Amino acid sequence: MATLDDATRTQIANIERSTGRSMDDWVALVRASGLARHGEMVAMLKSEHGLGHGNANLIALRARAGEDAPQTDEALISSHYQGPRAILRPLYDAVIDTVRTFGDDVELAPRKTYVSLRRRRQFGQVGPGGKDRLEVALNLDLPIGGRVEKATGMASRRVRIGSVSELDDELVGYLRRAYDEAG
């Protein structure tokens, strides 16, 4: 299976092939725009240059490299689990290891504060939900109650866990169902 860095290299090659501009050209364009905030950069790339969100996000991250944006996917993921949140990294790894058993088409798309779980479309998100809880968000219609909470954004439901034992058959079943529905 390809690593996150392999996926990033592929994405960069696809951006360059489809736009006719190198990553260095895109980074220079963003830096020359004078925009300072990540969201502003992404919005400009989408509205003025017709890029999709994922490609615009990657270019903005690269344009901000050397400031506060990690340069690789692994560095970005590691940044989620610094300081008091370091205790959540083994739990994150357990969730990712479980999700990868669903199929070879699982794609991890790291963002600033979480990792998007994708197949043909996003089926979930994983990231810190506080300093002692990991949030597993699901694009799945589930009744709210018990451990299932309403979520905002791309995922409609979430489950917060604090130990590997809470990554139980129920939660794995939810993840699997979300994965299946995304295919």
Q: 83-181: which CATH architecture?
A: Alpha-Beta Complex (3.90)
Give the per-residue pLDDT at 67. 53
The residue with greater pLDDT, 111 or 92, is: 92
Instruction: Answer with the residue of higher pLDDT: 75 or 80.
Output: 80
Q: How many CB atoms lie within 10 A of CB 40?
A: 14
Q: In this predicted model, what pLDDT tens digit does every residue of 108-166 receive, in sequence order?
A: 988 888 999 999 899 999 999 988 999 999 999 999 999 999 998 778 999 999 999 99
pLDDT at 117: 95
SS3 track for 32-97: HCCCCCHHHHHHHHHHHHCCCHHHHHHHHHHHHECCCECCCHHHHHHHHCCHHHHHHHHHHHHHHH
Question: Which residue ranges does the chain devote to CATH 3.90.1150?
Answer: 83-181
In the predicted model, is pLDDT for residue 2 greater than 90? no
